[in-house]
Amino acid sequence: MPAYNRVEWLRLCLLSVLAQTHRQFRLLVVDDGSEPPLAEHNLLIDIINDERVSLLVKPNGGPASARNLGLDQAEGDYIMMLDSDDILETSAIETLLAALRVSGADFAAGPWANFSVDVNDRVLVSPHPIYRDSYANCVACGWVPGSVMIKNDGTTRYNELRMPWEALEFYLDYLAVGRLAVYIDSITVNMRQHLSYDRLTIAHDHFEPFKTGAFFAEKKAALARAELLNFERSASLDSRMLSEILVLLRERRVHEARMLFQRVSWSLIDQYHYMRFGSFAWFSRRFGFELGSRSFVMVSRLIGGA
């Protein structure tokens, strides 16, 4: 768990880990340059002194570098990531661990819930796998820290320059070699939604459409170079790019949309499960970027205005 200030939220998060029904674990908390250091906060002293907790300290470098330090120290067979402002369900570790052990899979993931102030007032997010390929499902579902447990392979690390996509990329890199995944129905983590100035997904605009689309285009190209790009992975990555192209066109960012358009595998798209007559993908495939994609958005805008 990377941690940077946010002491009151961090305390709630840590307590949710210590209250787990599965008791045998090691909690690595990485103080990423908090001021003052986390060890000096009275609210955290009893928690940090728990025999299951190890506090690591480093200069501020962001969550990816903090997680990498934690991974370097992790000795267990299984690993679970958690953000310091979230709250685990009491049975989260037990549920995910059981799924891995029973199935023999390498990667276990489940739904999560979003909340803003009261954890009891939350919204369920339950993306369902639609592919046979685990990588493709991770692209489609966007599994988040706290909802995933993996076998410790001792090699996969976070790209410290990838913010804000470093967490998803970590899971994708882990799954790229063909590891098996198992999916559960139980909520494991409650994710705090807030607009605090230090929330990195806000600062780095996690939902910026061109950067998002470019990320998936880059992952697709990397898979192709490594000869790991199969049909389902191409379908899932193209789907994410198509979504961002549509957003860009609605925002009248034509040049950026055209750049992403060129990265879609148009020769395969008729075979994708989401191809439907009259859809954005259908118009784009049949009539190209100018007459298909742009016209689809213009007509949609006119209909919406009417």
Structure confidence at residue 67 as a pLDDT band (50, 70, 90): very high
Q: Say what the pTM is.
A: 0.93
Q: Which residue has the tokens 């299951």?
A: 52
Give pLDDT, residue 207: 83
Q: Which residues contact 12 (CB under 8 A, 6 or more apart)?
A: 87
Contact 245, 213 (CB under 8 A): yes
Indicate the helix (H) or strand (E) that contains 172. Answer: helix 166-175
Residue-range domain boundaries for the chain: 2-203, 209-305
Give residue-wise pLDDT tens across range 81-134: 999 999 999 999 999 999 999 999 999 999 999 999 899 999 999 999 999 999
CA distance 71 to 215: 24
DSSP codes of every residue in 78-90: EEE---TT-EE-T
Structure confidence at residue 203 as a pLDDT band (50, 70, 90): low
Contact 114, 40 (CB under 8 A): no
- What would the mean pLDDT of 167-184 be, rounded to a whole number? 97
Structure confidence at residue 196 as a pLDDT band (50, 70, 90): low
- What would the mean pLDDT of 273-292 be, rounded to a whole number? 96
Instruction: Domain 2-203: give its CATH architecture.
Output: Alpha-Beta Complex (3.90)
Structure confidence at residue 306 as a pLDDT band (50, 70, 90): very low
Structure confidence at residue 204 as a pLDDT band (50, 70, 90): low
Q: 280 in helix, strand or coil? A: helix
